[in-house]
Chain A
Amino acid sequence: MRPDTAIARRGPWARRIRRAVLIGSLAVLATPFVIPIVWMVASSFKPLSEIFKTPPTMFTASPTIAAYAEAFSFQPFARQYLNSLYIATAVTLITLLVSSLAGYAFARIRFAGRNVLFIVVLTGLLVPSEVTIVPLFQMFKQVGLVNTHWPLILVTALAAPCVLATFIMRQFFIALPVELEEAARLDGLGQAGIWWRVSLPLARPALSAVAILTFLASWNLYLEPTVYLTSPELFTLPQALTRYTDAYGGEMWSTQLAAATLSVVPMLVVFVAAQRHFVEGIAHSGLKG
């Protein structure tokens, strides 16, 4: 049924059809975003011989959880999971503090050299981690921190992702009306008091955006743990996922998928539960035109 275009602009049918076309094309577009995740979860329950079956199947008739047991017995997966969680949490907390302080100062406090120092900080956003990784490795080696979590925490919490956070915070504070701060100042609060009591509470949307982006940045780190960490009990999740190989280097496909599922599903659940905060947080962070 294809109404002619003159009516299509106005009639209720035309609107419905246009809506259906919109939803249909969005659904098609969404396929590559969703199918991989569904396939990963479904395949993690397949016996090994079914993963590469031709023609491929989405769901198996004989599900097994053997791969999940293997994921934990092959390497200290629970420990690695915990490593990723606590590193990302520590990084997020430090970044929230550091970036809100620096962002506030760059937006609101006048001091000599402010603009120049801000540009110096911004370079942290532009220098790719591949440039700094070799020297950083040598620096941490000299102070005996290789094969510890310190490089992953310190560098992430103070360098690139934190610089982005400082930038976001500065943008947000600049856009805030100054009247409240003026009032607080008349009440005798100092800069530190204003930052803590007035500006920070108002900055919740920006802080949640920073928290989300920073947590994900730390959670996803791959190059850094690959370089710094050598003991399996110190590994982080992304690094652990690529280590499911048998004693001869052959890949353990189903175990890899089970571990990947375990790493992804809780994040997805948290995300779907809090998806408004995710999306709105970024949307209202001041990062807009």
Chain B
Amino acid sequence: MFTRRKLLTALTLATAVGLAASGCSAASPQAPSAAPGSVDLRMTVWTSNKDHLALLDSIAKSYKASRPAIKSITFDSLPFADYNSTLTTQIAGGNSPDLVWMGDLSKDLISAKALVPLTDRLKATPEWGYDDLLESVTAEFSADGQLFAYPFSNSPFALYVNKDLLDRAGQKLEPAGLTWDRVSAIGAAVHSATGKAGFVVRDFDYSSWNMLATVWTGWGASAWSADGKTCTFDSPQMTDAMRFLHDAAFVNKSTPGPGTKADFFAGDAAFTIAQVSRASLLDGSFAFDVLPLPKGPAGAYSVIGQAGVGVLASSRHVEEATNFLAYLTNPENARLLAQYFPPPRASLLTGDKLAENNKKLSAAQLQSVVVDQVRGAVTLPNHKNPAEIAKKGKVALDALWTEKADVPAVLGSVCAALDPVLAK
């Protein structure tokens, strides 16, 4: 009995002490300079691509050569599927990395003051060239005039075309002035002629609805107001855009309905909307083209998916981590990173520069689907509490994907579900 009580007390005590300790650990002060070989930096990334990791390792190696304080820099590859929750768990568990890649977790991190502001440091770094950064790509990672993450990847969404399938269905496509209505019509024709799918919004799968921004932006719609406080799913523009998608799935069948798998890159679909970086999935088994997104009723538009890299305030080596970030993203290394990730720097954004390292796409293609798109692009919906917004939105939006769905009513219920979360 005695043992039992003792253990119980010990456990509760350990928990209480631990909680108190973790409460104040975030505020620990920074030593201005570290002893040689005393600093281990860790950066979490979601790529497991060997070339990407090799590039990062080589940049780290050349940095380390001139910095005796740095003992090691490791790139920790976390699975993409639950990158956010793994990262959150690590931060909450006191096992915080020093630098992080981030996608839609950025707003959470910024509002929790978990990121180190970068603007002053980068501006003060000689020859870093802060003014080279495009404003259209830094906006999502900025707050109160401070940049909190360097947007190293700004990959526009594009329309991939399987020319072989179009030929088989006897369809002709005029790239100039291509509209969504035309894409849908050709898709329906391909589907009825070949049984293959028409167009596929990649990774949407009737679940990740934020990918639909690649479509609804063409109708002038958005998920919420610019200040992120009001849901705009019930706007007339969104209603029309969703009607278009609903009809595509259930009336002219130009896109596969829910629960039907079709992989463009395996040759199962005539079109897909996907990021330019996915060109690496093309295996040459069919003739393809890649075009800017089709025009919607609201005209031409472009959408990018972004990734940033930032320094966590909970890092034990904020100083060294920030220095490394400035090195990793300087003009020379930015040029190297641009082999794989469309850069945020105006000086690097030309079709010829991008084509130097791209085996799948030509300079002209890159010019039209990357360079011409990035400047005016809209990003995918990004907000605080991304997981909750994604889930609650999906739960409500699921009702749309049945044959007799009442589009305005469903979209109203989406807003009813999202507004309380947006207001948090």
Contacts and interface: CB of A to CB of B under 8 A. Distances in A.
B305 to A, nearest CB: 9
B94 A247 contact: no
Interface stretch (A35-43, A47-55, A121-129, A188-196): A47-55
Given A138-B15, A230-B86, A248-B275, A243 B81 contact: yes
A48 B281 CA distance: 13
A232 interface: yes
A249 B46 CA distance: 10
B176 interface: no
Interface string B1-22: 0000000000100110111000
A248 B48 CA distance: 10
A281 B11 CA distance: 38
A139 B81 contact: no
B268 A52 contact: yes
B228 to A, nearest CB: 24
Interface stretch (B109-117, B159-167, B258-266, B288-296): B258-266
A74 B263 contact: no
A249 to B, nearest CB: 5
B25 interface: no
B46 A247 contact: yes
Contact of A49 (B18, B76, B267): B267
Interface of B: 11, 14-15, 17-19, 46-49, 52, 76-82, 86, 89-90, 92-95, 195, 202-203, 261-263, 266-268, 275, 277-278, 281
A139 B76 CA distance: 25
Contacts of B76: 231
B79 A250 contact: no
B261 A52 contact: yes
B268 A142 contact: no
Given A52-B261, A52-B263, A142-B18, A230 B89 contact: yes
A102 to B, nearest CB: 14
Contacts of B18: 138, 141-143
Given A52-B261, A230-B90, A247 B80 contact: yes
Contacts of A242: 81
B266 A48 contact: yes
Interface string A220-235: 0000001100111000
A52 B95 contact: no
Contacts of B202: 250
Contacts of A52: 261-263, 268
Central interface residue in B46, B49, B93, by most chain A CB within 10 Å: B93
A248 B278 contact: yes
A243 B78 CA distance: 10
A75 interface: yes
Contacts of A146: 89, 93, 95
A245 interface: yes
Contacts, number: 70
Nearest to B78: A230
A243 B76 CA distance: 15
Given A142-B19, A243-B79, 13 more contacts: A49-B266, A49-B267, A49-B268, A52-B263, A138-B15, A138-B18, A141-B18, A142-B17, A143-B18, A242-B81, A246-B80, A247-B48, A249-B81
Interface size class of chain A, counting residues whose CB lies under 8 Å from the partner chain:
20 to 34
Given A52-B263, A142-B18, A74 B78 contact: no
B48 A75 contact: yes
Contact of B14 (A54, A74, A143, A249): A143
Central interface residue in A74, A147, A245, A248, by most chain B CB within 10 Å: A248
A147 B86 CA distance: 11
Given A48-B263, A245-B79, A139 B11 contact: yes
A142 B23 CA distance: 12
Given A138-B15, A147-B95, A249 B203 contact: yes
6 contacts: A49-B267, A74-B48, A230-B78, A230-B89, A247-B48, A249-B80
A230 B97 CA distance: 12
Contacts of A249: 80-81, 203
Nearest to A143: B14
A226 B89 CA distance: 11
Contacts of B281: 246
A194 to B, nearest CB: 25
Contacts of A139: 11, 14-15
B14 A142 contact: yes
A242 B48 CA distance: 15
Contacts of B90: 230
Contacts of B81: 242-243, 245, 249
Contacts of B262: 52
Interface in A232-261: 232, 242-243, 245-250
A143 B11 CA distance: 10
Contacts of B266: 48-49
